[in-house]
Structure 1
Amino acid sequence: MPRKTAALVTAGLTGAAALTAGLLALAAPAGAASLPCNLTSNGSTTSATCYSGSSYTWRLVADCSDVSDPRNPSHVTTLYGDWHTGDGTETLTCGSGLRANGHLEAA
């Protein structure tokens, strides 16, 4: 194989290997970060049900906001649920007159 052709083939294989490694690096965190859970918030209550059947560790977090002035809502407190591994359900309720905005944390 002529030297120029060999250099191009080597460069092409090196580029393909780098691209494959980059795609694998991007795919791993995205898959690890997505938990198979249903998350709902309704007024002062938020809940999560996770049904992964695997060993994800997660907890529900509720940011409680006073929305008595809709133009200027203010954060009052944050509630943290228990850590769960695998399947489970958690519900958190903010105080009266507060709106719950729930999200999940993963460990």
Structure 2
Amino acid sequence: MKRDPDHPIIDDPWTYDILGFNYQVDKEDPGKSFIDLTLEKEGVVRRLRFHGPTNLEIEAGFPIPTRGMAILDVRARQLEGIGVEVSDFENSTGSVTFLARAVVDLDTQE
């Protein structure tokens, strides 16, 4: 099976610390729900918004970084409403994983 490519939104996400995690639920239209993830590395802060998150799992130990966070472009899987996967390739505690429709950089709106 071919590996999903890294999403181009951020290089090497496993090198960042998680500063903030906010899940906003839209009860009327769950497709409008989002997760804001704030990451920091060497004084550089990145704010990412994941639209339409599903299957959220947060392990005990979060937010201590596992140094295994990956943000993958999974559009080739052709799953309805799913284009991004946040996963963890380390076998340790504290990971956060979920699927989302899309991701944008809140500082550049890419």
TM-score by length of 2: 0.26
Choose 1 or 2 for highest CA Rg: 1
More helix by share: 1
- TM-score normalised per structure 1: 0.27
